[in-house]
Structure 1
Amino acid sequence: MQRYKIDDMSCGHCVGTIEKAIRAIDPAAEVEANLGTKEVRVETTADSGVVVQALKAAGYDSLPL
């Protein structure tokens, strides 16, 4: 399980964009976003560096936790 802090995540649209970015690199990924804590949990076989790059390409800076 990978976890990321995404301070710019503020609404449902953000969550959808983040989920789409992660599923673009791993269609089978399980993504759970929490707007209250601004954290995203990802169950994926993709390397965390690849996930961070996908999030950045979608417009979100992330900090692995």
Structure 2
Amino acid sequence: MQQFTVQGMTCGHCVRAVTQAITAQDPAAQVQIDLAVGKVEIDSNLPPERIVQLISEEGYSATPA
């Protein structure tokens, strides 16, 4: 399980955008997002750098937690 702190997510659309960005690259990925604290937990074989890149491409700032 990888954890990231993501800034800029404010609504359900943000959650869907991040989730879809990850699952488009790894359909088996499990994504859990705590919108209130900006925490994203991802169970995926993608490297952390790729996950940060995917989240950034959606317009959010992500750092490994």
Q: Would you say same fold, with TM above 0.5?
A: yes
Counterpart of 1:52 in structure 2 is: 52
Structure ranking higher in strand proportion = 2
State TM-score, norm by structure 2: 0.94
1:15-54 to structure 2, matched below 5 A, reads 15-54=15-54
Unaligned runs of 5+ in 2: none
Instruction: Report the AA paired with residue 53 of structure 1.
Output: Q
When the two structures are aligned, how many residues end up with a matched partner? 65
Percent of matched pairs sharing the same residue: 35
State TM-score, norm by structure 1: 0.94
Separation of aligned partners in 1, 2:56 and 2:63: 11
Separation of aligned partners in 1, 2:48 and 2:58: 15
CA RMSD in angstroms comes to 0.7
Unaligned runs of 5+ in 1: none
SS state at 1:6 partner = strand
Instruction: Report the AA paired with residue 29 of structure 1.
Output: A
